[in-house]
């Protein structure tokens, strides 16, 4: 039996063993958190029992007894608290979707305008961005609602927004924005079907064109053909079916409007505020995204003989979008989160209906606030997951 001379290592005290220390720290953390949670839950249970506050979701199926002035799904005072939750959620999603679309459009336009070689346009865009993004959103909402929309004239003296050919298109008064309402005739389904067909044909053509370019190098006019399919086919179907879409124009009759669709001033103020505020942030994101593409990239594209349009489409925009997408996602999430300011202007969003009216009537504060937070958390995580997936596809694949 051979004995190897082991170097004598002094056994360190477990007090200095990083693994032991790590274990102790974590045990302490878990213990403290667990104790805090237990104490909070025990206190909450005792306090809620003492104050007769419900501790479950039994109220969900009870009649709510209050009305909501704007609903996308059927709802009345006889509906349940659960129905009120869905009304609020749909209203939140509506204002968020509208604001996301318009804020993105305005934000991209302003971001590009800030890089314009036209001095006046660039300065005007800079003034807009620097002023509105340094003023709290809540202040802007209150301004639009209380200082602009509320003092508008009454129904009989509505402001007229002219459409094409100067005919009145929409009306603005202290009860909201009255727009023409589209009425779909029976044959409109054909137009929709033609649109779907156009999209499918365009996709097929794009695949074929990409293969043709790989094999022969010849480029096909994908954009023009796609336009013809996507716009032309529905137009043909539309006229073939005898124009099954009419606009129901609002007409002033006595003290109110007949026809048309009314958009609440609360919704107008909220969407306007969200769009104008968020667009300033999107503009800055777009500007820095475009500026982040190195000058060498456009020079190289020119050297390869690309014109302005292919250069933008194939070289600049793909690289800029990589920088733009992650912060743009954050802005979309900010719109969803900031739509909770609806409470301040009285638009019935999720917080205003569920964490406001329902909470006040039922008193079930803990469940309702946790449920509301969970909804926003789910929306945030879902959006983040979708945008991350898209971003992973668009990222540089390094080898």
Q: Which residues sit at the interface with another protein, rule CB under 8 A? A: 22, 25-26, 29-30, 33, 39-40, 43-44, 47-48, 50, 53, 116-121, 124, 130-131, 134-139, 142-143, 146-147, 150-151, 333, 337-338, 340-341, 343-344, 351, 355, 359, 365-366, 369, 372-373, 376-377, 380-381
- CB closer to another protein out of 29 and 245: 29
Please say whether the beta carbons of 163 and 170 come within 8 A: yes
Which helix (H) or strand (E) segment is 257 a member of? Answer: strand 256-258
- CB closer to another protein out of 194 and 355: 355
**Tokens standing for 115?**
């890089």
CA distance 17 to 12: 7
Please say whether the beta carbons of 185 and 306 come within 8 A: no
CA distance 197 to 234: 9
- CB closer to another protein out of 95 and 237: 95
- CB closer to another protein out of 43 and 63: 43
Q: What residues are paired with 261 via a beta bridge?
A: 179
Min CB(132)–another protein separation in Å: 9
User: Measured between alpha carbons, how far is residue 381 from residues 328, 374, 376, 384 in Å?
Assistant: 15, 10, 9, 5
User: Measured between alpha carbons, how far is residue 206 from residues 202, 235, 325, 360 in Å?
Assistant: 6, 21, 24, 56
Residue carrying the six token digits 């979008």: 321
User: Measured between alpha carbons, how far is residue 146 from residues 63, 162, 256, 274, 356 in Å?
Assistant: 33, 25, 22, 16, 21
Q: What residues are paired with 251 via a beta bridge?
A: 258
- CB closer to another protein out of 40 and 212: 40
Min CB(347)–another protein separation in Å: 13
- CB closer to another protein out of 135 and 395: 135
Q: How many angstroms from the chain centroid is the CA of residue 203?
A: 27
Min CB(93)–another protein separation in Å: 14
User: Measured between alpha carbons, how far is residue 394 from residues 97, 286, 310, 388 in Å?
Assistant: 24, 17, 18, 10
- CB closer to another protein out of 161 and 196: 161
Closest-CA residue to 57 (of 395, 354, 347): 354
Min CB(78)–another protein separation in Å: 27
Min CB(195)–another protein separation in Å: 31
Min CB(32)–another protein separation in Å: 10
- CB closer to another protein out of 63 and 116: 116
- CB closer to another protein out of 207 and 377: 377
- CB closer to another protein out of 200 and 382: 382
Min CB(336)–another protein separation in Å: 8
Min CB(123)–another protein separation in Å: 9
Min CB(341)–another protein separation in Å: 7
CA distance 69 to 204: 46
Contacts of 353 (CB under 8 A, 6+ apart): 68, 84, 85, 87, 88, 91
User: Measured between alpha carbons, how far is residue 356 from residues 76, 88, 108, 362 in Å?
Assistant: 17, 10, 35, 10
- CB closer to another protein out of 191 and 331: 331
Min CB(319)–another protein separation in Å: 22
Min CB(116)–another protein separation in Å: 8
Contacts of 390 (CB under 8 A, 6+ apart): 325
């Amino acid at each position: 039996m051979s004995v190897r001379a082991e170097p004598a290592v002094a056994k360190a005290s477990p007090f200095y063993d990083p693994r032991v220390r790590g274990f102790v720290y974590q045990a302490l953390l878990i213990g403290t958190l667990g104790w805090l949670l237990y104490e909070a839950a025990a206190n909450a249970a005792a306090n809620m029992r003492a104050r007769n506050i419900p501790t479950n979701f039994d109220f969900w199926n009870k009649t709510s007894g209050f009305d909501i002035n704007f609903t996308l799904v059927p709802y009345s005072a006889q509906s349940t608290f659960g129905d009120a939750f869905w009304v609020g959620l749909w209203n939140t999603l509506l204002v968020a979707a509208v604001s996301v679309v318009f804020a993105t459009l305005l934000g991209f336009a302003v971001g590009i305008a800030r890089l314009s070689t036209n001095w006046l346009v660039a300065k005007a865009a800079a003034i807009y961005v620097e002023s509105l993004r340094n003023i709290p959103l809540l202040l802007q909402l209150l301004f639009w609602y209380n200082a602009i929309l509320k003092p508008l004239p009454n129904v009989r003296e509505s402001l007229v927004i002219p459409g094409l050919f100067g005919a009145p298109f929409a009306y603005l008064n202290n009860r909201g924005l009255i727009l023409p309402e589209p009425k779909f005739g029976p044959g409109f389904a054909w137009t929709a079907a033609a649109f779907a067909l156009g999209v499918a044909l365009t996709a097929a053509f794009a695949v074929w064109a990409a293969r043709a370019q790989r094999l022969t190098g010849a480029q096909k006019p994908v954009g023009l053909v796609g336009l013809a399919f996507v716009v032309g086919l529905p137009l043909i179907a539309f006229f073939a079916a005898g124009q099954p879409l009419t606009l129901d124009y609002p007409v002033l009759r006595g003290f109110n409007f007949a026809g048309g669709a009314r958009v609440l001033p609360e919704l107008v103020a909220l969407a306007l505020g969200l769009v104008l505020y968020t667009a300033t942030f999107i503009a800055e994101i777009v500007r820095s995204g475009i500026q982040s593409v190195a000058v060498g990239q456009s020079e190289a594209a020119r050297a390869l003989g690309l014109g302005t349009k292919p250069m933008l489409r194939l070289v600049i925009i793909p690289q800029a979008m990589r920088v733009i997408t992650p912060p743009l996602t954050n802005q979309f999430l900010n719109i969803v989160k900031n739509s909770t300011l609806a409470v301040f202007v009285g638009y019935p969003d999720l917080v205003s209906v569920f964490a406001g009216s329902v909470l006040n009537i039922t008193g079930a504060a803990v469940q309702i606030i946790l449920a509301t937070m969970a909804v926003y958390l789910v929306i945030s995580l879902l959006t983040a997951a979708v945008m991350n997936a898209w971003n992973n596809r668009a990222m540089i694949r390094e080898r």
